[in-house]
Amino acid sequence: MLGVSCMPLPSECAAPVETISSTVLGDSLDDLQREVEAAFPFSESLSAATACVFGEGDPNSSLVFVGEAPGADEDRQGRPFVGPAGRKLDEIIKAMGLEREEVYICNVLKARPPGNRNPLPDEVAQATPWLYEQLRRIRPSVIVALGGPASKLLLQTHDGITRLRGHMGVWQDPEGDLEIPVMPTFHPAFLLRNYTAEVRGQMWQDMQAVMALLAH
């Protein structure tokens, strides 16, 4: 079992931040995946989920995409971003000159909320130490936060995605010195619902800023 303990929450934070006692874990990403899978289904409120969707991709990638939570397709396959939003994300990754296998893709929540409802604060609080530990073990150069929940959590703000997007921020590891640039941008599902020249242009602008940082 993961040893989790609560840290004090700054009042402006979007969700409580918990920490994992790393002494109980092996230190690879696979070890963490086994720990998280052992805790599945995580909570009563997520008990309708059929799979733990930990994340996938290159564990040494310099680029990590963080979404919100698995949907029905992801729950069925146990893999992140494999439905319509995933196909849009694949297109974005390709347009950046990368293959899906070259990046790492995960979500804040590791299990599907029933009916695709928004994650509850308790669910985010439980999943946060796992996401943070994932990021520590991958140590990417840049994180792309897809949509409001991931952006708010990683940047510890209540600001909405419309305000946040396009402004590079920083994820500060509450347990250490690690600081990783975060680009908050629209969720691909939002892009699918709002497929306008303006939204597409804004998202592409965000990805270009990410590519520029990766090129350094």
For the segment 121-180, give every residue that binds ligand URA (CB under 6 A).
none
Interface residue with ligand URA, options 33, 61, 107, 128 (CB under 6 A): 107
Contact 12, 156 (CB under 8 A): yes
In angstroms, rounded to a whole number, what is the distance separating the alpha carbons of residues 126 and 145?
A: 19
CB atoms within 10 A of CB 116: 13
| Cβ distance to ligand URA smaller for residue 57 or 71 | 71
85 binds ligand URA (CB under 6 A): yes
Strand partners, 63: 142
The pair of structure tokens assigned to 10 is 């700054």
The pair of structure tokens assigned to 71 is 């949907």
In angstroms, rounded to a whole number, what is the distance separating the alpha carbons of residues 11 and 16?
A: 10
Q: Of the candidates 174, 208, 205, 191, which has an alpha carbon nearest to the alpha carbon of residue 4? A: 174
Interface residue with ligand URA, options 55, 57, 71, 119 (CB under 6 A): 71
Q: Which residue is nearest to ligand URA (CB)?
A: 67
Stretch that binds ligand URA, among 5-13, 69-77, 166-174, 176-184 (CB under 6 A): 69-77
Stretch that binds ligand URA, among 21-29, 62-70, 127-135, 205-213 (CB under 6 A): 62-70
Interface residue with ligand URA, options 18, 35, 56, 74 (CB under 6 A): 74
116: Cβ–Cβ under 8 A, 6 or more apart, which residues?
A: 69, 71, 72
185 binds ligand URA (CB under 6 A): no
Positions touching ligand URA (CB under 6 A) are: 67-71, 74, 80-81, 83, 85-86, 107, 189
